[in-house]
Chain A
């Protein structure tokens, strides 16, 4: 089955700087990679996703890049703001049981 590794586990950046979270996956047949944001005490919310026929996707201040050859994908957040503080999860297709999630990255935006 799919194995998804996510780094770093904690990331602290100054407000206004950029943040990058990286994930690697094991199954070369995986073709869908979503990112979720979970604020404290709330449900994970889908923020952006990418499919394997695309190398990059942007939505305002967030972007995701995919390198199929190296089997890794990354989340980029530019001009970080306090409301970006949360735990971010990457995921890949895990087979019949759906998504396999990374262990999460706690993003801290320092004022």
Chain B
């Protein structure tokens, strides 16, 4: 069966510091991968999606970037965090444009 991992689970970072969040999927190959952000009490904002290695599409302009160095690895990065980057970051995988399955998430607090 498929499993999706995210780390770290929680992170507290100062404004202006860099960020790297990692997501890996097991038990499937060539998945579509997604990064979402969820502000407290809010909905799911799609940040990036990827249909293959090295293929990244961005949904909103921001100071975040994403990379997919391997088939089942998706990384979210920032060079300098802003206060507004705080939130719950969720990685998801799916097949085509169908069901998506979410990872456990990373709770990021920028101080």
Chain A residues within 8 Å of B, Cβ to Cβ: 32, 34, 36, 41-46, 49, 89, 93-99, 101-104
CB distance from B52 to the nearest CB of A (A): 12
User: Assuming A43-B102, A44-B44, A89-B44, is B94 touching A97 (CB within 8 A)?
Assistant: no
- Chain A binding site: helix, strand, loop or mixed by DSSP? loop
B44 touches A97 (CB 8 A): no
Contact call B97/A49, Cβ cutoff below 8 A: no
CB of A47, distance to nearest CB on chain B (Å): 11
Contact B103 A95 (CB under 8 A): no
A99 touches B43 (CB 8 A): no
A97 touches B99 (CB 8 A): no
- The yes or no answer to B101 lying at the interface (CB within 8 A) is yes
A-B contact pairs, 7 of them (CB 8 A): A42-B105, A46-B101, A49-B99, A98-B34, A98-B49, A98-B97, A104-B42
Residues of chain B with a CB closer than 8 A to A104's CB = 42-44
> Which interface class (under 10, 10 to 19, 20 to 34, 35 or more) fits B?
20 to 34
Closest CB pairs A-B (n = 6): A43-B102, A103-B43, A101-B44, A98-B97, A104-B43, A97-B49
User: Are B101 and A101 interface neighbours, CB within 8 A?
Assistant: no
Whole-angstrom distance from the CB of B54 to the nearest CB of chain A? 17
Q: Which residues 68-100 of B have a CB within 8 angstroms of A?
A: 90, 94, 97-100
Given A98-B34, A98-B94, A99-B97, A43 contacting B44 (CB threshold 8 A): no
Is the CB–CB distance between B43 and A43 below 8 Å?
Answer: no
Which residues of chain A are within 8 angstroms of B104 by Cβ–Cβ distance? Answer: 42-43
Pairwise interchain contact A89-B105, C-beta atoms closer than 8 A: no
CB of B59 within 8 A of chain A?
yes
User: Cβ of B110: which chain A residues have Cβ within 8 Å of it?
Assistant: none
The reply to whether the CB of B28 lies closer than 8 angstroms to some CB of chain A is no
With both beta carbons as reference points, the residue of chain A lying nearest to B91 in the complex is identified as A43
Report how far A97 CA is from B96 CA in the complex, Å: 9
Contacts of B46 in A (CB 8 A): 97-98
Q: How far is the CA of A103 from the CA of B97 in the complex (A)?
A: 19
Give complex CA distance A102, B42 in Å: 11
